[in-house]
Amino acid sequence: GDLLIRFYQQQPYVNDPNEFCGLVLIDELDLHFHPKLQRRLPKLLSDVFPQVQFIVSTHSVIPFLGAPANSVFLKVTRNKTAGIQLERINIEIQNLLPNSILTSPIFDLDGEEITQENNKNMDDIRMEDTYDEIESVDKIKARLKAFEESGRDFPDDLFEIETERT
């Protein structure tokens, strides 16, 4: 609401929000929003205000998942000797999952460091991409364990390649 009010105050001659022009700075786009809305918000803003350039900061990977195709990504670094520096990160983000974005140059998280810090046994780390995949793998493992404990033999034709019948 605040954004629309300010646009109408600054550009009272505009009737259609698609015609507003300007530059909008949003600090911490992800704050106070559910992850589903965090993902939808970047594209929603770009669609509603196509003539407005948005400069957005975030500490969350989720808004990146909804970034429009023409987005530019800048990484801000700070240190005492060099001061504040901007680095343009050229990355095709549309086909990346959150774990890939977190370990990309955008966030610079070291995947091995994270897993070693939180997991003592590397074999316990789940590598599936979705929770549905985790549940599916767990069901398969449970069925295999039950089969193993049953003492039954594998059927002879289990590993035979089925040939096409004419």
Which residues in 1-10 are b (16+ Cβ under 10 Å) and which e? eebeeebeee
Give residue for tokens 């929770």: 131
State the pLDDT at residue 162. 62
* CA Rg value for the chain: 25
For the stretch 109-122, pLDDT in tens is 876 666 656 666 66
Burial of 147 (0-12, 13-18, 19+ CB in 10 A): exposed
Measured CA to CA, the distance from residue 163 to residue 152 in angstroms comes to 26
For the stretch 50-93, pLDDT in tens is 999 999 999 999 999 999 988 999 999 999 999 999 999 998 88
- pLDDT band at 25, cuts 50/70/90? very high
Domain ranges of the chain: 2-109
The pair phi, psi for residue 165, each rounded to 5°, is -90, 135
